[in-house]
Structure formats: structure tokens, C-alpha cells
Amino acid sequence: MRKVASSSAAIPAQPTEALPSLPADSLGWSLLLAARIVAIVRDGKSLTEALLMLNNEAPAARSATQDIAYGVLRRYGWGEFILGRLLEKPLTHAQTHALLLAALYRLETRPEAVHTVVDQAVVAAGELAGGVFKGLVNGVLRNFLRQREALLAAVVTDEQAAEQHPRWWLSRLRRAYPQEWQRIVETGNSQPPMTLRVNRRRLAPVDYAARLELAGHPARLLGQSGLQLLKPVPVDALPGFYEGLVSVQDAGAQRAAELLDPAAGAYVLDACAAPGGKTAHLLERTDLELLALDIDASRTRRIEENLQRLGLSATVRVADCSAVDQWWDGRLFDAILADVPCSASGVVRRHPDIKWLRREGDIRRFAQTQAVILDALWPLLKPGGKLLYATCSVFPEENGAQIDAFLVRQTDAERLHTEQLLPLEDHDGFYYALLRKAP
């Protein structure tokens, strides 16, 4: 994803007041908001950060905008390829470029409403750059409709456009998973399921499933504590969500607490804990003395908020887990969860911006950081204690190869279990390696 110069990159605090001429419930407004979000992502920010601009929007507008923004980024390679064929020269106005991507996505996924989409996209273009690109937007979209069959036929000749992943990413997947790479790609391009983790301190998963059924949200049991909804719903619709009965967490992520499985009363470190899902799951399973660290102060607040909602308690600190001398008091841990920074290549269906923000060189940098964290945390573990290394990556350099190298460096480390979860319908992609320190 290239960085595009824009004179309007700031996020308005209350866009509805800034642009009163577009009704807040119109498609044009959702297209305009989605264009602003996509432009922010194209400028290098994460989708999570960009979506903060929707905080003051009405629920319906927020939902419609998110649907378009996620869709554009899932199909970003496709959209860029199509625009490259339709534009005579690069369009340097970032938000108008993103508006065209949003409108193309909507045209392709809502073919029954093409006239409305074109009309509303042109109206939205009138709110950008003084409206100078209205004619361009109208012409590009109408040309797409006229040339659609030929353009779609050309898409299949371009790997990045057809597979919706960067070429370097596809090359790595083919090398690592010659039989499964295409299934991984297809899953990454799909919409994820909504999976819940039931707070077993409060009730059993089967009992919460019955409450969901009564509320009109059927779900099926999944794993030890999980439920997968047949259809995603807002968290407001989940019975007892704000009372701490349930959390939203992918089934693959739930494996972390199940694999580490510390004994009651254990002293546990969650070294890279934000936003706190795995921390909470550990505490839901048994009574622990738990220290949760994260380097980002705003993200540690998320940990505290999650624990408060669930009625759980832990010590939460802002700290770089690898800078041990700045936070460690010398007391050894019975168990450590090292959910390390990684490429997040296993969770791209939830975070489609990752495919286009990552660079191939990032994999080496992540691997170096992971090795530093592992080497820093290992001395903090009691003899006989367990460390669970975790990533949400599918790239071997961050996973199996990382652990192989660690075991060469640390001769008192024993590998008890490894698990590479590839992205599937029921879960995202995760890697786990459970290690034990020699007694």
C-alpha cells in the first residue's frame, strides 16, 4: 500500500457537523466516511486507529461504513488493479482515490443498486476538494460498468488482484504450505465468525448457549469455553455482556490459556497482555496471582477495563517486558505467557489492512524482537516452570524456526508441545509452543 499525499488527512472530531449537506443515514455519507478511513489506512495508520473517527456516528452509519471499509481493504488488490485500468494517470487526492475504491467495492457486491451507488458516490465526491472530482468519479464508475466483463477477465491474470494478497506474501505462503496455501488465502479474504468465550466462573457454556437461544441468537459450542454465533450481532445484543458473563474472543486465541493451564495459586506473567483477552481467560479458569504488562499505556487501560467488566483482578503495569531491570522485582514466575509482537498474518480476515501495511522486511524485524523477548523472559521462570510462546502468525520464521533457534540457545529448555493453527472457518491462525525449564 503506497503512501499518497493528501491535504486533508486530519480526522474530523464530529464529521456530521462538518458536512451537514449529506444525510447521516445516506449511502453517500457512508461512502464518504469509508473513503476517509481507507485514505488514513493508505497513509500508514491501522484500520483500528482509523475507525476511531466513527465514535460519534449513529449506529446505522457506523455499521454501514465499517462494512464498506473492511470490504475495500479485503479486496484492495482487486480495487487497485481495476482503478489502474480506468484512470489515465494516478489520482493524487487520497480521499477521492479511496472513494472510488469504496464505490467499486459497492458496485461489485451490490449489483442490484448500481445506479444508486454511482449517484451517491458522485454526491460524496462533491464534498471533497471543492467538488472538482465529481465528473471524474462519475466517469470512472460508469466506465467500470461498461467495461466490467473485460476488466474482471483481466483480474485473473494478475496474481495480487486475483488472490487479494501481496505477491511477496503469496510467495512465502506457497513455500511454507504448498498444499494449504490457497485455503489460507481464501480464509484470509473471508468474513470471520463471531466467537464468544464464556466466563466459566459465572456459568457454563451450555447454559449461556440457552440464554442466547432465548434471545434469538443461536450458537454452537466450540472448544472448552467457546460458543460460535450462527450470525454475528453487536455486543449490546449479548445477554449479560456488560455484567461480565461473556467476552468476544476467537477460538484459536482461547487455546493460550488452555495450553498454559497454570495451577491454582500460581504466580503468572502475561508479558504482552493488551487488550487483555488471554489475561482474563487465565483468571476465569482458576485463582492466580497474575502480573500483566504492556508497553502501551492506552492499551493497558483496555486490560483494566476488561478485567473490571468481568469482575477479575490482576496487577497491570505499563512496561517493556524485555527491559527486565525496569520492572522485575526478582521473584520467579511459575508460568509465563509470551504473546509476542508479530506480523499478525494469521488474523487478516479480522484486520485486512495488515496485508497491505506489512512489508516483507517486517518479518525479520519481528523475529528479532521475538528472540529478544524470549531470551529476556526465560531467566524469570522457576525451574520446572512453563512458558507458552504465542503468535497470531502463519510464517515459520516467527514460529517453528524461532523456537528451534531458542532451544539451541537455551539448553535448559524442553519443548512440551507445539501447535500451528492455520486459518479455518472456526478459528484464525495462531502458533503455540509450550516450553518447560529443567528442574
Cα angle 334-261-418, degrees, rounded to a multiple of 5: 100
Are 325 and 258 contacting, i.e. CB atoms less than 8 angstroms apart? no
Is 392 assigned a catalytic role?
Answer: yes
- Cell matching residue 22: 449529506
Handedness of CA 96, 98, 104, 110 (dihedral sign): negative
Return the CA Rg of the chain. Answer: 23
Helices (H) and strands (E) in the chain, counts: 18, 11
Q: Do strands 219-222 and 226-229 pair parallel, antiparallel, or not at all (unpaired)? A: antiparallel
In whole angstroms, give the CA distance from residue 383 to residue 401: 24
One-letter amino acid identity for 332? L
Among residues 57, 71, 51, 54, the alpha carbon closest in space to that of 23 is found at 57
Are 374 and 393 contacting, i.e. CB atoms less than 8 angstroms apart? no
Cα angle 366-369-372, degrees, rounded to a multiple of 5: 150
SS3 295: coil
Place of cell 457454556: 205
Q: What is the dihedral of CA 40, 51, 168, 434, to 10 degrees?
A: 140
Q: Which helix (H) or strand (E) holds 291?
A: strand 289-294
The residues near 164 (Cβ < 8 Å, ≥ 6 apart) are 74, 75, 76, 77, 78, 185, 188, 189, 355
**Catalytic residue selected from 272, 321, 342, 392:** 392
Residues acting as catalytic residues: 392
